Structure 1
């Protein structure tokens, strides 16, 4: 049999289990071999509850002796379980996914829990631990002889596999998967065909692929397991970086992009009419973009900049250059409120220069949309600003030469490709206000040139951030009122999370109604949230900008699209429910003017993770530093959002947050062989080419080998 053999041939895989395995992505034996453990249970590293120390991350095995569900409203519920061994009791708490955990963790379960230990008094605790349900043979040592299969389940280093609820209900837990994988190894040998050259193995001290597969599933020692994991990570990152090397090579070969030859009247007028001076970092970014646009090769650049660093004006200079060269520019934003904000800013600056700017969104009135699209197709519109509605099939451009995608991590790869296909080899500028750690920049945008704006505009005063409990809300509101009395403006933001969006929105609206009729009845208050129509949002935003609203209350739509220099106070309710990146984005709405600004983070219940996030917010306003902290807390895979696909979602073993050194090594090798052999046609490299096309091309679909 071969790795392409169906798992249906494995003993123990019936019709029902086969269907569940297929749903989890395991169709062939090769799929089963590639279903790597998510963690390993090392008996020598397990600790008894009485020996736990505050702050350490450990694995504890025991039995659930009691469970308790507290609270019934989203955001307030929590689930607790008490795990006992012969030495003591460990309290486990979940604040998220409460309903799921309350059903899946029940009294009498034997669990291996893994997490960070904290103490409340003399009581050991873990919050949101990873856990695996264990069978008795994993807890109690056995005497006498064991069969081979038993050894797989009771050895010193035990692989634990990711399982979903359907797998668990069908009896496909870690033990069953280990048994199936052992049987698969008896039928064929994974990795018999190498996917790296012998010189690459020797140069990088890598295990042979077949040996690495066996050690991944049945480790013989910690040292060999470490070498196997390194081999798998290196290979995975090599093929991910090979994608970038191929794309980079293809872009360099492709001279079909329109060449911008000059900066003209529009560019000069824009510079002359700016009400502020560009920072040196902005000027550098503009020069780098201009150099790309004049090169004749399609620009493929990422512009990173912290909140308020001035990326939009840099993009506008690129757009002005496009118009000077007789081309259209299109600017796509992830949300309607952000698209409207950019549209208003660009219209205000571009209209006096004689440029026509149009807005394209999905919720426009039909007649208005038709007029905009007609003007866009005829070339009457120089610049289009909008949402993903800009890439729909019916939208065409007369002379599109420049594509700009703002907050690009909120768009999937296919959406970006669809935008680029609206013209022949357009220049592309991706922008993000979420500073990205260098590991992610290289791992996800390895084929892009990168411009970074780390310098804030002159005179920008850092925002003071203060963490306060709900009990101190009265004092916080007093401060807010005092600032408004000085002629300033402020925000109050309520959380809006996916799992309880309707209830959150209702709470925000009710809180606004109460505040505007009681505590702040004498102030001019406004409400903004995602359920308002575009016209309603625009109206509220414009009133706030003009100073007709003192206090803007809303949900996280305030995160983007609202730029009011006179706003000096932000109060974020239930700040413990927000992620670091979102808190930083929200904070960026204040501190944009000449007056000192303050951001209050109000919390109701503080978990260990929340304390770490809020402490980070209090300690720094540097978005790049915050992104590094965020990556450590949440892991690299969560930083760029759910919509980010490409190499990040294709990684199964490597962790971009932790494996930077491996990635550098793999990247160097990938770029080296593509530089030597751009189409991977040589006898030495044809195996790499075939493996990429066969195994990795579907996962990393951004580049083709010609």
Structure 2
């Protein structure tokens, strides 16, 4: 008897095609049903070429009349296509991958293309559109092996993501639709519900089996929308359920360290501050104190824009630890940043009697051993350092607080290694990269979050100007005038992974030219990632102390460099930087009371590049910038590999767009765990079973007994 859950149950599917499907993550009928369309062609939502409007996102179906490679400027090849329907002709251009497209698209192909409409004169065009090959037009004009008949009946056609290997083996969208239709004849997915009847009713959700059918074979746009909502809601509900269970497990863990009282250190730190705390800082400190004096370990994320004063908030938490005879550890992602934090903390803490040490990977053995002994004996209150803090020989006498700065630079295991140096310590994560609210809920849903959106008194917004590379002489003259007035500045060059060696060479050569020809009378310094930590620290110390007028470098200065006298930031080839990077770089100036400027110089702008630079010029609010960045790049790219792991279970939901669904699912998940923490009640057993089967291994911290 044949297994009706296996791909072998599908007629006409040979071993070779099964292997290719398995490479795409489809190894069973269940996987096939969970292989969601990437988008749909709705007859009513399709556009005629004649009716296209400038700037709109549109779907067009037509026949390829001509296709070929053209040589552009600087010898760059591009692939051009003329796509025609009954109303007109649309020009399509791909500037990269010309050889690939020349094999993938030929005259006579029927394509569905989706992209942003532009016009050159009166000619409609799209650049780099998404496309699906729907079939071929025969010599007599008949459509061969295509879905053309579906376009005329008004049906909604699912288009599936397909790899090159899938296309070559005859497993494009059309064939996948056929496979899934045959799979429905064999079995009905979603026969076993994964949400209780109470939840389905309370939130107006479509039954699971109906949702599967509508997603793959939509009967109407309205029913398809309901099915998508059901699947997104379910994904987000289970993600939030894992957070709710983790939070519950943490609340049931009594911390081994008690912060019972404030004392002389916290009072002395407050008295020693040379400035007044902002309302946002005071509020964050109150939230930290409330957590630290509680019975469960703190797990809090402090988000603050660049220059908003997160470090002093963390210092108050560390002073409270010292008041309670407990030690703190402060981990930073780079040696430059660790040294800077160490210097700042020493300046404020040591006059108060709080001892601070620095641990990095390049310290002499004897120095390191002496520091480790002081930590073990409790003679040092705070250890500041880099990844060197994770070494097995780093032990504490009474560790009570773990602070991780720029937490997105560290992996989950690295954070856990540091936490494991004490039994259930309090944990404070900090980031100067503001994260949109939806992503915070979706990725850090088990953490408490403090926001610092207020800038310290006296800070002035940084003036941001977007200028062509041709304006460089005037920008450099402005920089020279600022140096003459006693200020300092930065000139930053891009360093992109794919072209790192070329970029670094260009940055070093530019430094030589600037030193010899542009600013021969000024003191220039160079800093980049290939220098040793010692060399970088020497340069940074010279810049901090005013021995360098202009610091030339790569993005090594992106985070944490804090020199109040620097008032000018010049970013070369700004179009090559991401929004978050640009915002972080701009945050290196405007840290004192003097007016500061950031110049974004570009060589050649794409539409995405223009969008990024315009966003930078329009606001200095990092939280607004993060929302724009998420919309442009998507959640996974915004958060980076280490943080986006939480998103890997989301196949349909989009955290940048589905905030309302997220909120609804989160409230339901947290209410459920508050009502029945172990999901033992009869109506909740199906949820418990599905969670244990599908998510328990991914979220091992979630313990439901």
Question: So what's the TM-score if we normalise by structure 2?
Answer: 0.92
- The answer (yes or no) to whether the contact 2:83–2:91 under 8 Å persists in 1 is yes
Distance 1:151 1:88 in 2: 22
Does 2:192 align with 1:193? yes
Which stretch shifts more, 507-516 or 264-273?
A: 264-273
- In the TM superposition, residue 393 of structure 1 has moved relative to its aligned partner by 4.5
Aligned length: 700
Note the residue ranges of structure 1 that are not aligned, 5 or more in a row: none
What's the secondary structure of 2:512's corresponding residue? helix
Partner of 2:566: 567
Alignment match, 1:55 = 55
1:204 maps to: 203
Deviates more, 1:687-696 or 1:348-357: 348-357
Contact 2:462-2:597 within 8 A present in 1 as well? yes
3-state SS in 2 of match to 1:685: helix
Q: Which moved more, 1:170-179 or 1:450-459?
A: 170-179
Counterpart of 1:439 in 2: which secondary structure?
helix
- Residues 495-553 of structure 1: CA deviation (Å, up to 9, x unaligned): 11222222111111111111111111111111111111111111111111111111111
Q: How does 1:23-422 map to 2 (within 5 A)?
A: 23-62=23-62, 63=64, 65-68=67-70, 70=72, 79-86=78-85, 87-94=88-95, 107-108=106-107, 111-136=111-136, 156-362=155-361, 369-422=368-421
1:691 maps to: 690
> Structure 2: how far apart are the matches of 1:362 and 1:163?
46
Whether the 8 Å CA contact 1:412–1:645 is kept in 2: the answer is: no
Contact 1:330 1:385 in 2 (8 A): yes
- 1: CA distance between counterparts of 2:246 and 2:150? 46
Q: Give the structure-1-normalised TM-score.
A: 0.92
- SS of 1:59's equivalent in the other structure is strand
CA distance in 2, matches of 1:541, 1:304: 26
| Aligned-pair CA distance for 1:8 | 4.5
Aligned-partner Cα distance in 2 for 1:199–1:665? 14
Instruction: Check whether the contact 2:137–2:143 (CA below 8 A) recurs between aligned residues.
Output: no
Name 1:540's counterpart in structure 2. 539
SS at match of 2:302: strand
- How far is 1:689 from its partner? 0.6
Local SS of the residue matching 2:397: coil
> Which whole-Å CA distance do the structure 1 matches of 2:2 and 2:614 have between them?
54
Runs of 5+ consecutive residues of structure 2 not aligned to the other structure: none
Partner of 2:639: 640
Distance 1:375 1:658, change over 3 A: same
Q: Map Cα deviations across residues 285-328 of structure 1 (whole Å, 9 max, x no partner).
A: 11110110001211111111111000011111111211221222
| C-alpha displacement of 1:558 | 1.4
Q: Indicate conservation of the 8 Å contact 2:69/2:79, yes or no.
A: yes
Instruction: Give me the whole-angstrom Cα distance separating, in 2, the residues matched to 1:135 and 1:381.
Output: 72
Q: Distance in 1 between matches of 2:187 and 2:89?
A: 46
**SS of equivalent to 1:644:** helix
* 3-state SS of 1:88 partner: strand
Residues 98, 148 of structure 1: CA spacing in aligned structure 2 closer, same or farther, 3 A cutoff? closer
**1:588 positional shift:** 0.5
Residues 333 and 406 of structure 2 are in contact (CA less than 8 Å); yes or no, is this contact kept in structure 1? yes
Report the equivalent of 1:436.
435
User: Secondary structure in 1 aligned to 2:27?
Assistant: coil
Counterpart of 2:467 in structure 1 is 468
Contact in 2 for aligned 1:67/1:106 (Cα 8 Å): no
Q: Secondary structure at the match of 1:85?
A: strand
Say if 2:305 and 2:432, in contact at 8 Å, map to a contact too: yes
Q: Quick one: structure 1 residues 676 and 119, their matched pair in 2 at CA, closer, same or farther if it must change by over 3 Å?
A: same
In structure 2, do the counterparts of structure 1 residues 495 and 61 end up closer, same or farther at CA, with 3 Å as the change threshold?
farther
CA 1:310–1:519: 2 relative to 1, 3 Å: same
CA RMSD of aligned residues (A): 3.0
Relative distance call for 1:506 and 1:255 in structure 2 (3 A) is: same
Tell me if the contact between 1:49 and 1:90 (Cα under 8 Å) persists in the aligned partners: no
Tell me how far apart the structure 1 counterparts of residues 4 and 535 of structure 2 sit (CA, whole Å): 57
The 1-side partners of 2:182 and 2:292 are apart by 57
Q: Secondary structure at the match of 2:641?
A: coil
Deviation at 1:444, TM superposition (A): 1.8
| Post-superposition offset of 1:639 | 2.3
Quick check: 2:278–2:456 contact (8 Å CA) kept in 1?
yes
Match of 1:613 in 2: 612
Shift of residue 659, structure 1, vs aligned partner: 1.0
Q: 1:559 to 1:251 in 2, by over 3 A?
A: same
Q: Distance in 2 between matches of 1:148 and 1:571?
A: 53
Q: Any conservation in 1 of the 2:459–2:591 contact (CA below 8 Å)?
A: yes
Moved more, 250-259 or 674-683: 250-259
Distance verdict in 2 for CA 1:372–1:134, change over 3 Å: farther
